[in-house]
Structure 1
Amino acid sequence: MRTSVGIIGAGPAGLLLAQLLQRHGIDSVVLEARGRAEIESTVRAGVLEPGTVELLAEAGADARLRRLGQEHRGIALAFDGGRHRIDLYALTGRAITVYAQHELLKDLIAARLEAGGGLLFDCPVTALEAFDGSGPARIRYRDAGGERALECDFIVGCDGFHGIARQALGEREPPWHRQYPFAWFGILAATPPSAPELIYACHERGFALVSTRSPTLQRLYFQCAPDDSVDAWPDDRIWDELQARVPAADGVGLERGEILHKNIVAMRSFVARSLQRGRLFLAGDAAHIVPPTGAKGLNLAAADVRLLALALVEHFRNGSEAALLDYSRRALRRIWRAEHFSWRLTGLLHAFPDAGPFEREMQRAELDYLVSSRAAATSLAENYVGMPRDWD
């Protein structure tokens, strides 16, 4: 098989890149090790920056998002028994959209199949070859019929931290990496909304997050030990813990209901030293991971893809490789901005095991400053809704 761009991974980055390229008449094939049903049913959060929503519109994959996504113009910071609203729209003129990632993946898969683009499920990649040379690169993979090879001009690895693309790229120095001493316990609950907007709660027992998914589904998280177990948390204990950490509003606490799904999310930061080598490029979680506190993971993947799509279009139209050669530098600038914001917000809202009274008072002072200073609130809001697209 032969194509212009071979894409490894049918997550948001890989599917969005394929769709953008197709809109510009550039053919690609997406190879995915998992099955379609697994991809479309894996529960993950989804807070979309306005730039990501605009990019999905350019890709022609925003119809359901426009209909079902929930625009939020603010967030709440909860601490010391009270809730304080940060008005994102008043401070920046921009808002976020809450739309579950697996729903977005359904949209991108449907758009890809409707357009007749190459999308192969249950096809694990086994090797990458010749991406350093001047000739075509090759992706070797396996399907039900045996070993296959895909020849292409460029390879883009969107297959995550443990994927083959990052390993094949290789790094002369280890990547930048930070492991946090806690994790998130996440639930999907069949309840009406407890609040109109996201609540970020800082409590001496640990962090908590309340996020509305739909009028009947809510996604909630609370800080837990990294070696904690889902089995250790029966439903009543979960609701009691969340209620203890999230202060009631006007005497009304969280809405309780049936818990449909439980999982534990690891907390870490990772940035690759370089996102390109020859004709192999990295995007999304293969290039970087951020703690979920700042809601940047999916949005960074979209920002990578926008830059890479523009660079590939320039190459196939004009024969220029200038933008491709500059991809890593430009992408890493935004990545480090998002990493810093996520690291700062994580440190501000979580209970660290080694923190003493002094550190806790410093944390409280910073939170008080954020909700009482317009300048401080503007800085948080600007980073939360995402830097402008031309900031690269």
Structure 2
Amino acid sequence: MKIVIYAWSLDNGGAERVASLWANGFAEQGHKVSIVLDSLFTPIKYKVSPNVAIIRQYHPQKAIPSKLFKFILKKHFLSNLLEKIWYRVPQNIRKIFLANTLQKENPDVIITVLPAYYKRIKDALNAIGKNTPIIVTDHNPYERPEYAPLSVERIKEKFTDSYNYDFLTVLTEADKLVLQKRMDSSFMKKVYVLPNPLTYTPQVKIPPKEKTILAAGRLDDWHYKGFDLLLQAWSNIHRSFPDWKLKIAGGNDKSTLLKICKKLKIEDRVDFLGFVDIKKEYEKAEIFVLSSRYEGFGMVLTEAMSQGCACIACDYKGRQREIIENDNQGVICPTDNEEEIAKAISNIISNRQYRQKLQENAILRSKYYELPNIMARWNDIFERMGLIN
């Protein structure tokens, strides 16, 4: 079967990383796979099988001498500027390039990484008289807290435009339940729960650990990620554990978090790592904390579990409880509650035997999300759509 996966780039972003993993899985199953990118110059940062074709819908490397193209790729300011110009090109013009690409590829099915791309793809298919089925994969939750509601555009995508989708995948049973309350039964027949696959191979045994509590995420998203809660929790208990340290991995502006550390007088007990090899940090950390106020899934959580971290996760309406099923696999805390986070960290640090049990069971649980298991779900989707027998 010929499969096209449509994404903006393979440069950053959890959904884009997942797309690369799917592509590798499809190729391993013997499918012919192409990833069609909207971006012109963003580098390919995720590992993609040589059996997967990567196609930019507009081929700048064919219009620009190779030396100049490589120069643009190296100069981020220039490539970013050109990307911004390309992004502002009217959709009816960009649609022509996408339509030409889809005409040449002639796929049996198209998988779009985000719902926002559905209309763009559908318009391109209409332009060439094709009715190729489109599977929309949604990587964001179908509900959010009152203080951070879904935008009007996102509501339209999730609850109005979605009636036109050929098939829709959501990350959790909790999201499927939200849809069940608002959509009719015929619509629900084309909704499928497809969790994100693991990025890393689970450890065979717990690797050597350091006395580190780890968190990860964009630092300018500190409120959404609950890093202020984590810092407050650590400030409440850090004096009891002088040989332990909190580390937060992730890039972008950390000025607000530094101010919080200074106010709490924990500057010397917290390290901001920036962009690092996160797998190595998972391997070294005894404890991982997902402190988010709301989270659709939490790839960092399954990644940390796979590398033998004892995990604490703030559960947003059952979504993280789908990953940590019981108290032997990790600790679930309510959202927006630094006292419960502090209590969980303190208990895990204080009880080495309990910590080791959580680490061992986390590795076992993470195997549920290994790529072959997720690819089996894709085969089920294709069977339900009548694409394979």
* TM superposition score normalised by structure 1: 0.36
The structure in which a higher percent of residues are strand is 1
The structure in which a higher percent of residues are helix is 2
